[in-house]
Amino acid sequence: MKILLIEDEPELARSIDSFFSKEHVLCEAVQTFEEAFEKVNLYQYDCIVVDITLPDGSGLDIIRQLKEIRSEAGIIIISAKNSMDDKITGLEIGADDYLTKPFHLPELNARVKSIIRRRQFNGDKIIQFDQIRIVPETGEVSVNHKPLVLTRKEYELLVFFIANNNRLLTKEAIAEHLWGDEMDQADSFDFIYTHIKNLRKKIQDKGGQDFIQTVYGMGYKFSGQ
Amino acid sequence: MRLLSKTTLNYFIFSGLTFVCGAFLFYHLLHQIFYKQIDENLREEKILIEETINHADTIPDFRSVFGHEILVTIMDKPLPSRMVIRDSVMVDSTRENPVRYRYLNAWNTSEKKKGYSIYIFKSLDETDSVITEIFIAFTFLFLALLVVLILVNYGVSRKVWIPFYKTIEKLREYDFRQQFSLGLSASKIREFSLLNQTLMVMAEKIRQDYLNLKEFNENAAHELQTPLAILKAKLDLLIEGEYLREEELILIRAMYDATLRASKLSQGLLLISKIDNNQFPTGEELDLALLIRQAQEHFQELMLHKEILCTQDLPVTFSYTMNRTLAEILINNLLSNAIKHNIPGGWIRISLNRSALVISNSGHVLSKDPMQLFGRFSKGEKSSESVGLGLSIVQKIASLYGMRCEYTYHEKTHTITIFF
C-alpha cells in the first residue's frame, strides 16, 4: 500500500510516516505544492493525505488535478482550518474525507484504511481479523461463522479497533471516533467502558477469544494472540 | 434633568428674584417721586396764599383758585410759626371708601400782626392711581421682557447644544467592532469641535486596540494548532512504546491529558475569534426543530447512560436563517452543557417556540453568580475537566444573530433561554 502525504509541517509528517510504517504502509511525504503536483502526476498511490494550506498553493488544486488525470487514489483532506467551506468544497471536488487538525493518529489510520477498502473494486471488501469477519457494505459481523448482533456504536468500535489492531487506543481517541469532538465529557469515558465490556462479552459468547486488553490508565489495545 | 431645562430654570429663578426685588424698589421710588412733587406743590401754594394774606385785606376764595380744599383762618392774635405736611384719611359721606389726603398745615403771623392758619388738602386718589398704573404698565413690560429673554435663551441654547446631542447620539450608536470611524462632523463652536476631535481620536485608539487584540487572539489560537497537532501526534506514537515503565506511563498520560485540553482550548478560542470576525458565511434556511432532534439523537446514548430523561416540546418544523455549522454548535453546546451539569437520574426539557428556545435541566445547587456563566473560562465546580468555553461560544453565536441568552436558576433547576 502506498500513501502520499502532503503536509508542510515536517514534524507532523514524520509522526504520520512513523505511525504508518508499523502498518506496513509505504508513506511518501512531500512538503510543498510543487513537489506534490509532480508526484501525483508521475506515480500511482492508494491514498493521498493532503493539507489544504500549503506554503506555495492550495491542497484543493491538487485534488482538482487528481480528478483531472482520473486518479483512482482515495483522498483525505487534513486541515487546521475547521472551515465548513473548505470541507464542502473539498468533498464536492472529489475528496473522500476531511479531518481537522489536531487529530489522533489512529483516527487517520482508520479513515485511510476505510477509504482504501472502499476503493478496492476488484478485491473483496471484507474485513477479516482472526475469527472475526465483517462485511462493511451490509454491516454484518460474524465470529467463528456465527452471526454477531451489535449496536451501531459497538460495530463502529469494533471496526475502529480492527483498523488499529495491536495499537494502543486512548479513551479520548475512541470517544472522538464514536461521538465527534463535542463529547468532551468525563461521562463518555465510563460510557466507552460499558460499550467495550458489552462488545467483549458478545464476542466471547460466540466462542471468540478476548481480543481487547485494558492498558491501565491509558486505554485499550485490540490484538490477536 | 436636561441641560437645557437646568439652565432655563436657573435663568428663570434668578430673573424672577431680580424682577420681584426690582418691582419693589421701583414702586417705592415712584411713590417717593410723586409725594415729593405733591409736597412741593403744597409748599408753593402755601407761599402764594401767604402772599395774598399779607397784601390783600380780604381773603379770596382759594378753592376756586386752586381747585381743591383750602381752609384759611385769620385770628387777631399772632401765632407762632410752624408747618407740617402729613397724610390723613377723611371719611366723606358721599363716597364709599375713605379718601386719602395729604395736607399741609401752617401757622404764622402776617405783616399786619394777625395770626393765621392754613390747611391745604390734596387728594391722593389720583396720584395713587397714577402710581398704580405706571407700576402695572412697567410690570407688564418687564414680564414681557423676561418671557422673551427666557424664550430666546431657551431657543439659542437649544440650537447651540444641537451638535452636542448629535455627538452623544453618534457615540451611543457607535460600535467599534463594526464601524470604521466615529464619523463626528466638525462644529462651528470651538469647544464642541474640540470635544468631537478628542472623541474621534479616542474611538480610533480603542478600535485599533480592539483590532490588534482580536488579531493577536486569532493568530495565537491559529498558530497554536500546529505545535499542538505535533505534540498530540508524538504522544500517540510515544504511548505505543512497548517497554514503558508504569511511572513513565503516568507521566505520558498527564502530558496527553494536558495536550488534549490545550488543543480543545485553542480550538474554542479560534472558534470564538472566527465568530467575532464574522468569518462564517451567511446563513441558510434551517429547520431548528430538526437540528434539535438530531442533536438529541446524537446524545441519546449518553443520556441513557446517565439515566437522564429528555422531554421536548418542539414544533414540527421551525425555520430560521443562520449558518449551519454555528447552529449545530449552538444546539450541541447547549445540550452537552445540560447533560454535563446534570445529576444521575435527572431530566432535561427542551422547548422551542416563536419567541425562544428554552433548555432546562436538573442539576446541583448553583454556587456561582449566574451572570458569570457566559463568561470565558467560567465553569461550574463539578466538571473541572471542561475548558469552560461552551456557554461563551453559545453567547457569541447568539449575539451574532441578535438573539439574547438568559440563565435562570430556581431550586436545582437550571434554565438557559435563547430569545430570538
List the domains of chain A with CATH numbers: 2-119 (3.40.50.2300), 127-222 (1.10.10.10)
Lowest mean pLDDT among A45-54, A81-90, B157-166: A81-90
CATH number, domain B190-276 = 1.10.287
Residues B24, B30: Cα–Cα separation, whole Å: 10
Max CA pair span of chain B: 160
Of B250, B281, B383, the CB nearest to A186: B383
Query: How would you classify the pairing of strands B82-90 and A127-129?
Result: unpaired
Q: Which residue from A7, A117, A3, A133 is spatially nearest to A59, judged by alpha carbons?
A: A7
Give the residue from B219, B225, B236, B299 with the most A CB atoms within 10 Å of its CB, the best one to mutate.
B236
pLDDT at B72: 82
Q: How much is the average pLDDT of A151-156?
A: 89
Parts of chain B belonging to CATH 1.10.287:
190-276
Q: How much is the average pLDDT of A133-139?
A: 84
Of A15, A179, A218, the CB nearest to B233: A15
CB B6 within 8 A of CB B154: no
Residues A156, A130: Cα–Cα separation, whole Å: 18
CATH class of segment(s) B3-147 = alpha beta
Q: Do A181 and B264 touch (CB under 8 A)?
A: yes
A170: contact with B, CB 8 A cutoff:
yes
Higher pLDDT, B195 or B4: B195
Parts of chain B belonging to CATH 3.30.450:
3-147
Q: How much is the average pLDDT of B308-324?
A: 88
Residues B243, A106: Cα–Cα separation, whole Å: 20
pLDDT at B144: 92
Confidence class of residue A63 from pLDDT cuts 50, 70 and 90?
very high
CB A103 within 8 A of CB A197: no
Cell output for A123: 478485491
H runs (alpha helix) in B74-189: 125-173
Parts of chain B belonging to CATH 3.30.565.10:
284-419
- Separation in Å, CA of B406 to nearest CA in chain A: 22
Confidence class of residue A192 from pLDDT cuts 50, 70 and 90?
confident
- 3-state DSSP helix/strand/coil percent for chain A, to nearest 5? 45, 25, 35
Distance between first and last Cα of chain B: 35
Q: How much is the average pLDDT of A177-200?
A: 78
Residues A130, A110: Cα–Cα separation, whole Å: 18
Lowest mean pLDDT among A46-55, A195-204, B64-73: B64-73
CB B405 within 8 A of CB B416: yes
Q: Do A105 and B236 touch (CB under 8 A)?
A: yes
CB A101 within 8 A of CB A79: yes
pLDDT at B48: 85
Q: How much is the average pLDDT of A106-129?
A: 82
Confidence class of residue A121 from pLDDT cuts 50, 70 and 90?
low
Can you say how many angstroms the Cα of residue B59 is from the centroid of all Cα atoms in its chain? 84
Higher pLDDT, B379 or B270: B270
Structural element, H or E, at residue B278: none
Q: Which residue from A149, A135, A123 is spatially nearest to A203, judged by alpha carbons?
A: A149
pLDDT at B277: 76
Looking at residue B371, the DSSP 8-state letter turns out to be: G
Of B301, B323, B324, the CB nearest to A153: B301
Looking at residue B372, the DSSP 8-state letter turns out to be: G
- Separation in Å, CA of B168 to nearest CA in chain A: 40
pLDDT at B214: 80
Q: Do B253 and A218 touch (CB under 8 A)?
A: yes
Residues B261, B268: Cα–Cα separation, whole Å: 10
Higher pLDDT, B57 or A107: A107
Indicate whether B315 pLDDT > 60: yes
Chain-wide mean pLDDT for chain B? 83
Preceding omega of A102 cis (within 30 degrees of 0):
yes
pLDDT at B17: 92
* Complex ipTM: 0.84
Q: Do A186 and B385 touch (CB under 8 A)?
A: yes
Of B236, B252, B386, the CB nearest to A19: B236
Indicate whether B384 pLDDT > 60: no
Block residue for cell numbers 487584540: B213
Q: Do A179 and B302 touch (CB under 8 A)?
A: yes
Report pLDDT digits (tens) over B9-67.
888 899 889 889 988 999 999 999 999 998 998 888 888 888 888 877 667 666 666 66
Lowest mean pLDDT among A80-89, B109-118, B126-135: A80-89
Confidence class of residue A52 from pLDDT cuts 50, 70 and 90?
confident
Report pLDDT digits (tens) over B145-163.
888 988 888 888 888 888 8
pLDDT at A124: 66
Q: B268-280 burial, b if ≥16 CB within 10 A, otherwise e?
A: bbbbbbbbbeeeb
Residues B147, B153: Cα–Cα separation, whole Å: 10
Indicate whether B355 pLDDT > 90: no
Residues B264, B266: Cα–Cα separation, whole Å: 6
- The CATH fold assigned to B284-419 is Heat Shock Protein 90 (3.30.565)
pLDDT at A82: 59
Residues A190, A202: Cα–Cα separation, whole Å: 18
Q: Do A84 and B256 touch (CB under 8 A)?
A: no
Give the residue from A8, A18, A185 with the most B CB atoms within 10 Å of its CB, the best one to mutate.
A185
Report pLDDT digits (tens) over B85-98.
888 887 767 767 77
For B78-128, the DSSP string reads ----EEEEEEEEE--TTSSSPEEEEEEEEEEE-TTS-EEEEEEEEE-HHHH
From A167, which residue of chain B is nearest by alpha-carbon distance? Answer: B240
Indicate whether B181 pLDDT > 90: no
pLDDT at A31: 92
Strand order in the sheet with A26-30: A26-30, A2-6, A47-51, A74-79, A97-100
pLDDT at A111: 93
Reading phi first (left if > 0) and then psi (alpha if -120 to 50, else beta), residue A144 is in left
pLDDT at A108: 93
Indicate whether A134 pLDDT > 60: yes
Structural element, H or E, at residue B22: helix B3-55
Considering chain B, what percentage of its residues have pLDDT values greater than 90?
A: 7
Q: Do A172 and B280 touch (CB under 8 A)?
A: no
Of A185, A190, A218, the CB nearest to B239: A218
